[in-house]
Amino acid sequence: MHKAAREKFNESFSTEKYQNLVAEINQEFPGKLDFRIAESPIFIDRALKTKFLMAANDVISGIKKKDFKEKTEAAIPAEYRFKNESENPHFLCLDFAIAKDQDGNLEPQLIELQGFASLFAYQNYLAGKYKKFFDVSAAHSPYFNKLNAFTYMNKMEKVLKPKSSKNTILLEVYPDKQKTRLDFEITKTYWGIETVCLSKVFVKAGLLYYKNGDDEIQIDRVYNRVIFDEIEKLYPELKINIDILKDANVEWITHPHWFYRVSKFCMPLLKSKYIPESKYLDKLDAYPEDLENYVLKPLFSFAGSGVNLHPTAADLDKIEDKQNYILQRKVQYEPVIKKPDGTLIKTEVRLLFTWPEGKNHPELLTNLARLSQGEMIGVAYNKDFDWVGGSSAFFETD
């Protein structure tokens, strides 16, 4: 971590500045902010940044292997198979805890990964707010590959809404009820992409449309934010709309199959000192003798849902669908962010990539960070704390 940047930030920090930041967001997008913003960004020095890049490269090398698709084919449920799968995921999200290695040096450890979209609009917006309201050095940036806010916006527009697309929409389930709806609004502000509820789409002659008043608008490109396997549990009335999408002649960004391929399902396939050992629960002949050093995780879940930090053999025996779980060696998050009062806070950083079509390698653009004082990262575990919530990491520039 960058000690000097942290000290400088803390010296100039005030609760009033933080409240002004939150107030401006609520003023610009009334009723859309539905999660906690952390009081501070995090500052990462060049040495730790290098380790993040090395860790990401190890993960990507595994995803790029020729047999990756073959080995992850079983991850895709038969009921969620769609046409027109892309060669690579348009988006790649890698979540790393900041931990310590055996020598006591800070390093990233992969917690989970997604071949899925993330808060690409909101994170750019939030980073700008931190820079506006707080003392953030120009020697640190939330972007990579020499990008700035302007070039980032241009690059994202080419991914989301290229000239070849006549009508790109952001697809979500009841978007006004989602906690991420602020990102949808900023996406529309930045790139003019309308958000459409899954309930509003229909197919006519193999083409996808949505209703806008009395008008039927054809869709040729879907910026997908729908997690399809949640629909059966939470929104069974929309299952028919999934069937509508299966044969639609539309381009996906990114295709739903990548949500399953690049997920905790592939973690046992990836090898690196930055990737904790993971095992498919249904492939075990016997449970690890040191089971207390493992976490039980469902393969396809977000925000810590279904995670058991302290699984017992009895817990594992009760699971009927063992094929949907992994055991992952525990990662000890290192509290590295110092509040002005000296309290130390844990953090997790998500590196956000896009993978342009025709390119051999994804491109790292920006990041998302989360601060936590609870047992896990996530809102449910941090209700009674300050200096927790969504944030942005500012990395020391080259």
* 182 plus 230 within the same structural domain: yes
DSSP string, 79-136: GG--S---SS-SEEEEEEEEEE-TTS-EEEEEEEEESS---HHHHHHHHHHHHHHS--
pLDDT score of 299 more than 90: no
| Local confidence band at 163 (pLDDT 50, 70, 90 cut-offs) | confident
pTM of the model: 0.94
Q: For residues 212 and 312, which has the higher predicted lDDT (pLDDT)?
A: 312
The residue among 220, 253, 286 that closes a domain is: 253
H or E element: which one contains 316?
A: helix 313-318
Q: What is the pLDDT of residue 161?
A: 87
| Local confidence band at 304 (pLDDT 50, 70, 90 cut-offs) | low
| Local confidence band at 303 (pLDDT 50, 70, 90 cut-offs) | low
* 131 plus 169 within the same structural domain: no
Q: For residue 308, tell me if it sits in a domain.
A: no
Question: How far apart, in whole angstroms, are the C-alpha atoms of residue 378 and residue 380?
Answer: 6
* 125 plus 271 within the same structural domain: yes
First to last CA, the chain: 15
* 130 plus 268 within the same structural domain: yes
pLDDT score of 382 more than 80: no
Percent share of the chain, pLDDT over 90? 81
The predicted-structure confidence for 219-274, as pLDDT tens digits, reads as follows: 999 999 999 888 888 899 998 889 889 888 899 999 999 999 999 999 999 999 99
* 267 plus 129 within the same structural domain: yes
User: What are the C-alpha distances in Å from 159 to residues 152, 239, 355?
Assistant: 11, 29, 8
Q: What is the pLDDT of residue 214?
A: 86
Which residue has 């969504």 as its token pair?
Answer: 390
The CATH number of the domain holding residue 179 is: 3.40.50.11290
**What is the arithmetic mean of pLDDT over 362-379?**
86
Domain that holds residue 266: 3-146+260-276+331-396
* 234 plus 270 within the same structural domain: no
Instruction: Return the structure tokens found at 394.
Output: 């500012």
* 247 plus 268 within the same structural domain: no
* 104 plus 176 within the same structural domain: no
* 193 plus 64 within the same structural domain: no
* 117 plus 172 within the same structural domain: no
Q: For residue 323, tell me if it sits in a domain.
A: no
Q: For residue 296, tell me if it sits in a domain.
A: no
Q: For residue 317, tell me if it sits in a domain.
A: no
The predicted-structure confidence for 96-146, as pLDDT tens digits, reads as follows: 999 999 999 999 999 999 999 999 999 999 999 999 999 898 899 999 999
Mean of all residue pLDDT scores within the chain? 93
* 245 plus 264 within the same structural domain: no
Q: What is the pLDDT of residue 357?
A: 87
Q: For residue 359, tell me if it sits in a domain.
A: yes
pLDDT score of 75 more than 60: yes
Q: What is the pLDDT of residue 398?
A: 75
* 212 plus 271 within the same structural domain: no
Q: What is the pLDDT of residue 168?
A: 94
pLDDT score of 380 more than 70: no
The residue among 189, 222, 253 that closes a domain is: 253
Q: How many domains does one find in the chain? A: 2
